[in-house]
Structure 1
Amino acid sequence: YNLSNQALFDLGQQLNPLRERNILIVGTGGITHNLRTVDPHHTGAPPAWAVDFDQWIERTLVNHDYDQLIHWQSQAPQARMNHPTPEHFRPLLIVTGAAQHEPVSFPITGFEWGSMSRRSVQLG
């Protein structure tokens, strides 16, 4: 838990050889994760701060801009609003480190409960 964002990304890079042995590396978390703002009865559009962050993640990953990703807390729009604490974001740093040169796709997108992004990230 005390590893820096850079150390988590580097850990992912160390895991990369496992992919060559057909071992799947999975990280679970959330693109947006502010439980104080979720509303299971929400039916309208998601808040702009959540959409902006979700779109920033998409652009950053598609462009393989991992320096921005590593420094997400200072680079992403409304980072603190989307992640009051970082533990649900940090798995993304490990999996992107493990597959940083792979193509990126997003099999699931959209929002639920207002501000909760459903975006899933597939690398490779």
Structure 2
Amino acid sequence: MAAVGTDRVAVRQRYMERAIPESVGIPAPAVSCWTTAHADVHWANLTEPLRLLDWEGWGKAPKGFDAATLYAYSLLQPDTAARVRDAFPVVGSTASLAAEAAVCAQLLQTVVGGDNLVVEDQFRNWAEELRHR
């Protein structure tokens, strides 16, 4: 997907500069590379055989955004989260810090709104990990 160019924007720099410090507690990391992303890769948007559903939010996002999103939605299942990290080694790398922080901020904001409460502790632990990277 990253090879497909677009002028669409999935994640705005301005959003990251506001949301990451507010939700994750660190300054917004510099984005080293913007790529085309689906921007909503989670298990409900994946089918067998492999297809991605729900494309209305696709566009440019920091490198690793889709992998970070799938990782975040795997945190309740540590074995699955580890498999996602193994399959997408960009997760946990310096190159994806901005993407991970943006995804984490987005999801922590959903918690404040009353959604994803079952994963709140995992999101907060991830934010703590990001603060130490």
Of structures 1 and 2, the one scoring higher in RCO (CA 8 A, sep 6+) is 1
TM-score, length basis structure 2:
0.26
TM-score, length basis structure 1:
0.28
Structure of greater Rg: 1
